[in-house]
Structure 1
Amino acid sequence: MPNTILILEDSKTQARIVGTLFEKNGYKADFAHDRFEALHKLNSRGYALLVLDVFVGEENTLDYLHMYRKAAGDAPIAIMTAGKRDTPLAGSQALNKARRAEVEFLLPKPFDINDVHQICAEAERIRRRKGPVKRILVIEDDAHSRIIYRSYLEDEGFYVAESNSVEDALVRLEITRVDAILIDLIMPGIGGMTGIKVISATWPDVPLIAMTGYTQNPDNLHNALARGAISALAKPFTKDVLLTEVKKALSDDRTVVL
């Protein structure tokens, strides 16, 4: 059932509402109203996406996520939560929970057709990749630079997600699981220097590579390392330099370098 999603929601009314949003994005919706029905269906057929409400009856779905993950196979998982997305802190807290639960997407309630479209598009990208790959998040306000870095990384087989600010990265529904992060230091909003601390709280075990073009102030790079980046790159840098640092960051044996 490549275009069918499974929605676990104990309220039949809410399940139909959610199902309609996904159907408007080209999917067929199947429903389960408790854990046993959901696991039975997952073990009986394949789905393109699994959408789970956090609280189903008296149960917390995250307590059984290992079961859903095993039964779902390669299908990505979206968690519907009651969290708020109007502040970076709320987004960070929600992402922390999702990161620990190893889910691909968050759908903070109330969500709308645009939120669902965003997740459907990203789920399709994941499905086209066919198999587990390392996921790199690039936080960079310059669109041209993001295109270049994405090209470099995708040529090497990485999956790339992009944000134009730290705030955007914290609330984007499709950015939950990441294996390494590239972050520009000079950006609008809270910026990369403060953002390193915020990002590190969101993804505490994910290696972070800082980068900046303002090399006339070398303290920027040193300060980034002091705040938690494992590497700091002065722009412009070559494809080889970027890939070397990313692979080093993803390795088990890594040290902080400048």
Structure 2
Amino acid sequence: MSDVNKKAKQILLVDDDKNTRILLTEFLSTMGYRVLEAKDAKEAMKSVEIGSIDLVMTDLRMPGMDGIELTRAIRRMEPDLPIIVYSAYRFIDTAPVALKAGANEYLAKPFLQNKIKQTVERLLKEQE
């Protein structure tokens, strides 16, 4: 993906933890992406409704609507929008539930930067 195309891509990052949002925003920004942050699913849904989102990264565990419910809601609105669900909780059934809800990928914390980079680039390339 060329830098011009990469810079045009906007990632919606949804996490109730401010520190995680800061770290991921910083990392994704250094890769050339524009990052829009949401602290909960309600904010995220507003951003999806407005449009111009190329990929969503959401935490699994959040107050109110969790990442699974958010994924289902986004799928109803934007069936082809790539979604990555991530979590620090390592329950055996978490990944299959996220994928069944419509997530394209599931990542476990702690993140490996290379894994995030590869996953984001692959999903965005598949959208082209």
Q: Could you tell me the TM-score, scaled by structure 1's length?
A: 0.45
- The answer as to whether partners of 1:161 and 1:175 remain within 8 angstroms in 2 is no
Q: Which of 57, 73, 85 matches 1:182?
A: 57
- The answer as to whether partners of 2:86 and 2:108 remain within 8 angstroms in 1 is yes
Q: Could you list the per-position Cα deviations for residues 99-144 of structure 1 after superposition, in whole angstroms to 9, with x for gaps in the alignment?
A: xxxxxxxxxxxxxxxxxxxxxxxxxxxxxx9x96111000111100
- The answer as to whether partners of 1:211 and 1:233 remain within 8 angstroms in 2 is yes
Describe the shift of the 1:149–1:174 C-alpha distance in structure 2 as closer, same or farther (beyond 3 A). Answer: farther
Q: Could you list the per-position Cα deviations for residues 36-83 of structure 1 after superposition, in whole angstroms to 9, with x for gaps in the alignment?
A: xxxxxxxxxxxxxxxxxxxxxxxxxxxxxxxxxxxxxxxxxxxxxxxx
- The answer as to whether partners of 1:169 and 1:175 remain within 8 angstroms in 2 is no
- The answer as to whether partners of 1:166 and 1:199 remain within 8 angstroms in 2 is no
Q: Could you tell me the TM-score, scaled by structure 2's length?
A: 0.87
Partner-residue secondary structure (3-state), 1:141:
coil
Which residue of the partner structure matches residue 208 of structure 1?
Answer: 83
Deviation, 1:154, is: 0.4
- Percent identity among equivalent residues? 32
Which residue of the partner structure matches residue 18 of structure 2?
Answer: 143
Deviation, 1:240, is: 1.3
Deviation, 1:190, is: 1.3
Which residue of the partner structure matches residue 73 of structure 2?
Answer: 198
Number of positions where the alignment pairs a residue of Structure 1 with one of Structure 2: 123
Q: Which of 28, 38, 41 matches 1:153?
A: 28
Could you tell me how far apart the structure 2 residues matched to 1:199 and 1:191 are? 12
Mapped pair 1:229 → 2:95: no
Query: Runs of 4+ in structure 1 displaced over 6 angstroms?
Result: none
Q: Which of 107, 117, 121 matches 1:243?
A: 117
> Structure 1: which 5+ residue stretches go unaligned?
1-128, 254-258
Describe the shift of the 1:236–1:183 C-alpha distance in structure 2 as closer, same or farther (beyond 3 A). Answer: same
Question: Which amino acid in 1 is paired with 2:98?
Answer: A
Partner-residue secondary structure (3-state), 2:16:
coil
- The answer as to whether partners of 1:138 and 1:162 remain within 8 angstroms in 2 is yes
> Structure 2: which 5+ residue stretches go unaligned?
none
Mapped pair 1:166 → 2:35: no
Q: Root-mean-square deviation (CA), in Å?
A: 2.2
Q: Which has the larger radius of gyration?
A: 1
